Amino acid sequence: MCKAIGQKYQILVAIGAISILTVKPAQANSTRIQDIIHHQSAALLAQESSVTVVPVTGVQVNPTAKGVEVILQTLQGEQLQVTNRNAGNNFIADIPNAQLRLPSGEAFTFRSEKPVTGITEITVANFDANTIRVTVTGAAGIPVVELFDSDEGLVFGFTPVVSSAQTPPSDQPSNQGDELIELIVTGQQDGYRIPEASTATRTDTPLRDIPGSIQVIPRQLLEDQNTIRIQDALQNVSGVNRQGNYGGTDAGGYTIRGFAQEGNFRNGLADNDFYSSVDTANIERIEVLKGPASVLFGQVEPGGIVNVVTKQPLSTPYYSADFSVGNYAFYRPSFDLSGPLTDDGSLLYRLNVAYQNAGSFRDFNFTERLFVAPVITWNISDRTSLTFDLEYQNNNYLFDRGLPAIGDRPAPVPISRLVGLPESIYDDSTFRAGYRFQHQFSDDWELRNAFSFVSGRSGGTYAIGGSELIDEQFSPISVGRDDFLREIYTLQTELVGRFNTGSILHQPLLGVELRRNVWNYTSFDVTEPLLLDIFNPNYDVAFPDIPDEETFSYTTRRDTLGIYLQDQITFADNLKLLIGGRFDAFHRRDDFGTPEEESLTSFSPRVGIVYQPIEPISLYASYTRSFQPDRFLGRSVTNTPFEPTIGRQYEIGIKADISEQLSATLAAFEITKTNVLTTDPINPDFSIQVGAQRSRGIELDISGEILPGWNIITSYAYINAITSEDNTIPVGNRLINVPEHAASLWTTYEIQSGDLQGLGFGLGLYYVGDRNADLENTAILPSYFRTDSAIYYKRENWKLAFNFQNIFNETYYETSQTRNIIYPGAPFTVIGSFSIEF
């Protein structure tokens, strides 16, 4: 035991060392921040080596007929070489052996926000003592780039795109005699820092200008960790923890800031709930918006939302294939194909296909999956595009409810033990279809219209545990067959604009959303459960006959009309206000044998302010509110329908661009959730709405590139989430699956030059504190510390990688649904993968 404790202290020391290295650029950056204020950088220039450095004495941005040009003014432009890469919607160009210097010799940084429609930001800065970095962020996608050498210096021509799929005509800089030169593609990985996101405001807004905490998981991180479960990706975000694990699959929800979430959003529209798995094959990035989000997304829990952004068609041919294989008989081939369908590039496609077959460390457990996702984009004109999406996924698996608790801990049985019967086979299918239409009336006004249909169906034969143990030894096994259909219809129309009132810039958003949710459940249950000895299980038992007549069924339908208005107001370059509100009219009809209906309305406001005292620092404060009707129509003893639960949050925070490629967010918040149902003390068979829950916490997220080739994403969260009012649950009890302390670190380094160029290493450290398995706090999931790692070798168009999870074979428990449904984490796991693209 002492050896294990010593080993953990060594790991904690390693975390501390890496954290110091992470903070070190911020210390050096304090000089850079002062440079921005006082235009002094003697310390930076003193780091120069004997290499001849070309001075760039000015930066000029000029609008052109099709976009914008950026001129790096220098008399020695012919000596410069440019290497470039893409990260999200960002074009990033590094120019070695060059420095930004005023004629007086002082360094400077150039930034231009929204110089033309379609370009969010242009930044030119000294990346280090010998390198200039040019970063251009497109509003809808990566701009088309041309590079020219002219008498004025080095000229970049940028043409923005209407959508990420568009291929706009190339643009010539204003100097028509300039010589076109070639950009050198380095093949570098996209970074972990994504400077903007659409989830928080439904516009592509720089994260530094958003008065709230939003974290982005980029595609590069998914690939570096070989992520297949979306829950594994979210372990890199502060304040997010696993919540349940439907049937032992990779389906399930999560808690955000202490509150359980059931269901995601996909490209900004409501997606299926936690009963369906989410495959990562066609995910471009995952955006996590912390805190109540009803102002734009309607009925949600107050902790936050997860929005999955999918891959879109590319304007140039792209083909990639990946094959992964691992222990527990895991194998998974996948393909990603994209390109134009017509000679003029007006019709584009993308197709993602994946197949997965795997066993498990859990006895009898298996998963088989097929995933297909085609996308077609029609660029009707330079200002108009229409995209059609389809997606089909089928999962066949063993329904597994994990382990029960004995006393206040998970039962002392092997984590592989199945508490159920191996005949419990389920099938789950998800179908998605929809379109997204965009039209720009002008450079300042845009209309968007989108429709989404999501259908999920799961069911099969079940023989599962999950009930309270008898004599702390025998688990009742419920047997039966069921069918569960879920459908979501969403129609959304938005108008986005931009105008000035004097010197004040307004960016209004007006939206209307219609949404229908339908659930239809039917079960055929065996009346008498079987009994299974969890210490000495006998799976060879006669399986009882399942009745042909249904024993339980229900249908419920929710219809919602939402109207929302938002304005992003820029009073000055360093002072911004976000204000908005949404009105929702909600109607629900439940049928548990006797139809019942109710209608209600709700208003959800949001207001936030951002102040940037110096350019790299953003201080913010915000208030926001959410609402969530009870999932099923409940009534009090007086037959009065219940009001929605209401969430209110106050948040303050600070965001810092530690460098051009490394950023951090520190946030403090308090969320209260009221109108929580609790048992009626006079009539225990009914409920009353006097319960309340409260969550307070501090979160820290750091992500980006420390040095060329060294990426990092790390997080820490302290969350005190408790029951604050209730009739039966003691006040002060912690909420389910919420650790008080949790931290994560994932970092990779890739050798940039020499014979070992392309060789990379990854290290992951994850700490999760004690969690309660139920609201009554009768069982605890112990804290754990898990270590992951990776090694890979990458050449021009192929990559060989090995990912190792839980390398010290730690026994731990990921999550729970109740004290009798606890899911253990996987022991040591290795996955090897080979990918090629052309």
Confidence of residue 347 (pLDDT cuts 50, 70, 90): very high
Structure tokens belonging to residue 109: 């940084």
Confidence of residue 667 (pLDDT cuts 50, 70, 90): very high
Q: Of the candidates 565, 560, 608, which has an alpha carbon nearest to the alpha carbon of residue 584?
A: 560
What whole-number distance in Å separates Cα of residue 137 and Cα of residue 123? 9
- Which pLDDT tens digit goes with each residue over 491-543? 999 999 999 999 999 999 999 999 999 999 999 998 888 999 999 999 999 88
Does residue 3 surpass a pLDDT of 60?
A: no
The pLDDT, as a whole number, for residue 36 is 33
For the residues 393-397, what does the mean pLDDT come to?
Answer: 94
Q: How many CB atoms lie within 10 A of CB 303?
A: 31
Domain 39-185: which topology?
Answer: Immunoglobulin-like (2.60.40)
- Which pTM does this prediction carry? 0.81
Give yes or no for a contact between 788 and 806, defined as CB atoms under 8 angstroms apart: yes
Q: Do the beta carbons of residue 814 and residue 242 sit within 8 Å?
A: yes
Residue 184 has pLDDT above 60, yes or no: no
Closest Cα partner for 615 from 213, 215, 209?
209
263-267, 331-335, 768-772 — which is least confidently predicted?
263-267
Topology (CATH level 3) of domain 308-837: Maltoporin; Chain A (2.40.170)
Cα 72 to Cα 34: distance, rounded to the nearest angstrom: 23
For residue 647, the Cα-to-chain-centroid distance in whole angstroms is 22
Tokens 């497109």 -> residue? 138
Residue 170 reports pLDDT greater than 70: no
Asked if 554 contacts 591 with a C-beta cutoff of 8 angstroms, the reply is yes
Q: Tell me whether strands 196-197 and 474-496 are parallel, antiparallel or unpaired.
A: unpaired
Distance of CA 631 to the CA centre of its chain: 25
More confident residue, 195 or 746: 746
| Strands (DSSP E) found in 172-294 | 179-181, 184-185, 196-197, 205-206, 214-218, 240-243, 253-256, 259-261, 265-266, 269-270, 283-290
Among the ranges given (153-162, 533-542, 574-583, 795-804), the one the predictor scored with the smallest mean pLDDT? 153-162
Closest CA to 251 of 135, 431, 395: 395
Cite the DSSP H helix spans in 41-153: 42-45
- State the Cα–Cα distance between residues 279 and 227, nearest whole angstrom: 9
Terminal CA-CA length for the chain: 51
Q: What percent of the chain has pLDDT over 90?
A: 62
Report in angstroms the alpha-carbon separations of 790 from 10, 87, 140, 223, 230.
20, 22, 33, 11, 19
What tokens were used for 340? 């134009």
Specify the pLDDT at position 43.
36
Separation between Cα atoms, residue 307 and residue 771, nearest integer Å: 26
Note whether 39-185 and 308-837 share their fold: no
What is the average pLDDT across 657-673?
Answer: 94
Q: 51: pLDDT confidence band, cut at 50, 70 and 90?
A: low
Residue 7 has pLDDT above 60, yes or no: no
Taking 60 as the threshold, does the pLDDT of residue 655 lie above it?
A: yes
Query: If you ran DSSP here, which 8-state letter would residue 5 be given?
Result: H
CA dihedral 809, 813, 814, 818 (to 10 degrees): 170
Domain ranges of the chain: 1-36, 39-185, 308-837
- Residue 104 pLDDT: 67
Q: What separation in angstroms does the CA of 77 have from each of 55, 150, 151? A: 9, 8, 8
Chain center to CA of 68? 32
pLDDT band of residue 672 (cuts 50, 70, 90) is: very high
Contact 504, 570 (CB under 8 A): yes
pLDDT of 565 strictly over 50: yes
Sort 2 into a burial class: Cβ within 10 Å, 0-12 / 13-18 / 19+: exposed
**Percent with pLDDT over 70 in the chain:** 87
pLDDT digits 0-9 by tens, 249-284:
666 678 999 998 877 899 999 997 667 788 999 999
3-state secondary structure string, 347-360? EEEEEEEEEEEECC
Please tell me which residue, 168 or 453, carries the higher pLDDT value: 453
Asked if residues 287 and 199 have their Cβ atoms less than 8 Å apart, the reply is: yes
In this prediction, residue 639 carries a pLDDT of: 65
pLDDT value, residue 276:
73
Task: Give the mean model confidence (pLDDT) for residues 693-707.
Answer: 96
**Is residue 117 very low, low, confident or very high in pLDDT (cuts 50, 70, 90)?**
confident
**Residue 634 banded pLDDT, cuts 50, 70, 90:** low
Q: How confident is the model at residue 75 (pLDDT cuts 50, 70, 90)?
A: confident
Q: How many helices (H) and strands (E) does the chain have?
A: 5, 53
CA distance 563 to 566: 10
If one compares 174 and 392, the residue with the highest pLDDT of the two is 392
Q: What does the alpha-carbon distance between residue 282 and residue 278 come to, in Å, rounded to a whole number?
A: 10
**Residue 636, pLDDT score:** 66
Q: What is the mean pLDDT of the chain?
A: 86
Is the pLDDT at 26 greater than 50? The verdict is: no
Contact 703, 733 (CB under 8 A): no
The two structure tokens encoding residue 66: 């099709």
Q: Mean pLDDT over residues 296-300, rounded?
A: 93
Evaluate if residue 185 carries a pLDDT over 60: no
User: What distance in Å separates the CA atoms of residue 62 and residue 119, rounded to the nearest whole number?
Assistant: 13
Helices (H), 39-155: 42-45
